Amino acid sequence: MSRFFWVRHGPTHAKSMVGWSDLPADLGDTARIARLAAHLPGDALVVSSDLDRARATADAIAGRRTRLRDDRDLREIHFGDWELQAFDTIPDQTRLRAFWDQPGDIRAPGGESWHEVSGRVTRAVERLCRAHPGRDIVAVAHMGAILTQVQTALGITAYEAFAHKIDNFSVTELHRDGAQWHAQAINLTV
């Protein structure tokens, strides 16, 4: 059995759509970070997205755990031309609403669709499972990346996955028994 402990990176405090922009995380709540690190399996492997907010969070919780190389495929959704813009400043509001209300093939101009991010993250998960069979893995990533895996584990639509909240520093624990994923906890805060 494989167990993934998905951790959302520390907050950026940005009030816009943050995808591939390399914003730093606020890691000032050291007590919360210590509780999070203590909650995670001590012998787990730690991997993160290659974006600074995820990488720094992973480094802060890794402790004595083996730290794997950052994985670009664990990045957030690529928002393209919408990157770092507030929702109400996007000129094509119809397309923006469709992106969130009918996730699938719709993408931001110059960005990626839900199906594309889901495929990218799933490939990273499969690669990690093949390389480290049966190991516990702490994957520090982003809300969208985590939600792609929640969708898979729960067997729900992307729209239903978006209904799940994924807080900064939260843990979403997914177990794989054979080819099937199961959700043990979603958005657990410690």
Q: Which CATH class is domain 2-188?
A: alpha beta
Q: What is the pLDDT along the chain (190 residues), one digit of tens a residue?
A: 799 999 999 999 999 999 999 999 999 999 999 999 999 999 999 999 999 999 999 999 999 999 999 999 999 999 999 999 999 999 999 999 999 999 999 999 999 999 999 999 999 999 999 999 999 999 999 999 999 999 999 999 999 999 999 999 999 999 998 889 999 999 999 9
User: What is the value of pTM for the model shown?
Assistant: 0.96
Tens digit of each residue's pLDDT (9 = 90 or more) over 150-165: 999 999 999 999 999 9
DSSP of the chain? -EEEEEEEPPP---SS--SS--PPP----HHHHHHHHHHS-TT-EEEE-SSHHHHHHHHHHHTTSEEPPP-GGGPPP--GGGTT--GGG-S-HHHHHHHHHS-SS-B-TTS-BHHHHHHHHHHHHHHHHHHSTT-EEEEEE-HHHHHHHHHHHHT--HHHHHTS---TT-EEEEEEETTEEEEEEEEE--
Quote the pLDDT of residue 1.
79
What residue ranges do the domains of the chain occupy? 2-188
